[in-house]
Amino acid sequence: MSDPRPIGVFDSGIGGLTVVKALRDLLPGEKIFYLGDTARVPYGGKSASTVERYSLEIAEMLMEENAKTVVVACNTASSVALAKLEKHLPVPVIGVIRPGARAALATTRNGHVGVIGTRATIKSGAYERELRALNPQVRVSVCASPLLVPLIEEGWLDDELTDRVIARYLGPLVHQGIDTLVLGCTHYPLLVHAISRALPKTVSLVDSARNCAMAVKKLLVQSHLSAPAGNSAGLDIALTDAPDIFLSVARRALRLEIGNVQLREVLHSAPIAAR
C-alpha cells in the first residue's frame, strides 16, 4: 500500500523549514506542504491555550490540503498542543519533542541531558517529562534561550554577538556537567556551528529536526502511508503573512529550493471533529 498525499508540516513561523530540509533529505520521494503562521509568530511567548487554538486552526488548513500526516515542526506547539491535535485530527500527528528526547537518551553517556528552547517550551516542562518517562534516572538541566531566535532571523548566524549570547546561555549547563544538549527549537539547527564552538568536545548535540524526520519516515512505513515509486515529489510553502528577511536566511542556510510562496488567511472556524 502507498499514499501519494502530501506530508503536512507547520510551525509558528519559518524555523520549521529545518524539519522540512531534514524530510527532503530523508524522504526525497515525498510531497511536502509547509504552512508557517507568520502572521502570529512567535508562539513562544503566548499562553498555552492560545497556542492550542492557533495550532488547531493551522492544522485544519493542512487538512484542507489533504495532508496524510501532520508534523508539528514547532517545539512550543509540540510541548503544549500535541495532545489536543492528536485528539482532534483524523490523521497521525508527530511532534519534535518525543523524537528529540529518545535521541538524547540514546546519546548521553553520563545520564545528564541539557535542553535549550523558547520560554514557553522550557516553562512547559515537556522535555523533562518525556525524558523522565523514558528513563526516570536521567538528570535534566534546562535553559530558556529567547534571544537566539531573533538573532537567527536577523541572519546573524556567524557573528561575535551571537557567539557571546550562546556562551552566556550554555555556560551554566556545561558547568552543571551535561554531556548531551538538545536543540529544543527548530530555529536552532541554523546555529549548529556556533553552538558547537561554545561547547567542549565532550558534549554531543541532538538536533530535534532530524530526529523528527526519522520518526516521520518510520511512521509512514508502519502505517503504509509512504509515497508510491515515481511519486511527483515537491515542496509547497504557504505563510499566513508576507515573508520577512528570514525566508532568505533559511533559503541560503538550508539550501532549500523554495519557489513561489503562497499567502493564506487563517481559518477561524470550529475545531476539527474528534476522530
pLDDT digits (tens, 9 = 90+) for 130-186: 999 999 999 999 999 999 988 988 889 999 999 999 999 999 999 999 999 999 999
DSSP string for residues in the chain: ----SPEEEEESSSTTHHHHHHHHHH-TT-EEEEEE-TTS---TTS-HHHHHHHHHHHHHHHHHTT-SEEEE--HHHHHHHHHHHHHH-SS-EE-SHHHHHHHHHHH-SSSEEEEEE-HHHHHHTHHHHHHHHH-TT-EEEEEE-TTHHHHHHTT-SS-HHHHHHHHHHHHHHHHHT-SEEEEESTTGGGGHHHHHHHS-TTPEEEEHHHHHHHHHHHHHHHTT-PPPTT---EEEEEESS---HHHHHHHHHHT----PEEE------PPPPP-
Active site residue 212: no
In whole angstroms, how far apart are CA 112 and each of 47, 128, 199, 203? 29, 11, 15, 10
Q: In whole angstroms, what separates CA 242 from the centre of its chain? A: 21
CB atoms within 10 A of CB 192: 14
Q: Note whether 25 and 60 are same-domain residues.
A: yes
pLDDT digits (tens, 9 = 90+) for 247-259: 787 788 888 888 8
In whole angstroms, how far apart are CA 175 and each of 98, 127, 163, 234? 26, 20, 17, 45
What's the whole-number mean pLDDT along residues 229-241?
Answer: 90
**pTM to 2 decimals?**
0.91
- Residue 269: band (very low, low, confident or very high) from pLDDT cuts 50, 70, 90: low
Distance separating alpha carbons of residues 18 and 209, to the nearest angstrom: 6
CB 120 within 8 A of CB 80: yes
pLDDT digits (tens, 9 = 90+) for 67-113: 999 999 999 999 999 999 999 999 999 999 999 999 999 999 999 99
- Angle subtended at Cα 73 by Cα 71 and Cα 74, rounded to the nearest 5 degrees: 135
Residue that is last in its domain, among 208, 226, 255: 208
275 pLDDT more than 60: no
- Answer yes or no: is 268 within a domain: no
218 pLDDT more than 50: yes
In whole angstroms, how far apart are CA 163 and each of 114, 187, 198? 18, 16, 7
- The whole-number pLDDT of residue 4 equals 95
- Residue 273: band (very low, low, confident or very high) from pLDDT cuts 50, 70, 90: very low
- Answer yes or no: is 273 within a domain: no
Range of the structural domain that residue 193 is part of: 97-208
Q: Note whether 42 and 120 are same-domain residues.
A: no
pLDDT digits (tens, 9 = 90+) for 13-62: 888 999 999 999 999 999 999 999 999 988 888 888 999 999 999 999 99
- Angle subtended at Cα 231 by Cα 227 and Cα 237, rounded to the nearest 5 degrees: 85
- Angle subtended at Cα 27 by Cα 21 and Cα 33, rounded to the nearest 5 degrees: 60
271 pLDDT more than 60: no
Q: Note whether 87 and 215 are same-domain residues.
A: yes
User: Among 7, 41, 74, 82, which one carries the catalytic annotation?
Assistant: 74
Residue that is last in its domain, among 208, 225, 248: 208
- Answer yes or no: is 163 within a domain: yes
Q: Note whether 13 and 87 are same-domain residues.
A: yes
C-alpha cell at 69: 500526516
Q: Note whether 162 and 140 are same-domain residues.
A: yes
Please give the tally of structural domains in the chain. 2
CB 263 within 8 A of CB 242: yes
- The whole-number pLDDT of residue 272 equals 47
Q: Note whether 50 and 179 are same-domain residues.
A: no
Active site residue 74: yes
User: Among 61, 115, 185, 213, which one carries the catalytic annotation?
Assistant: 185
Residue that is last in its domain, among 208, 227, 255: 208
Does residue 109 or residue 270 have the better pLDDT?
Answer: 109
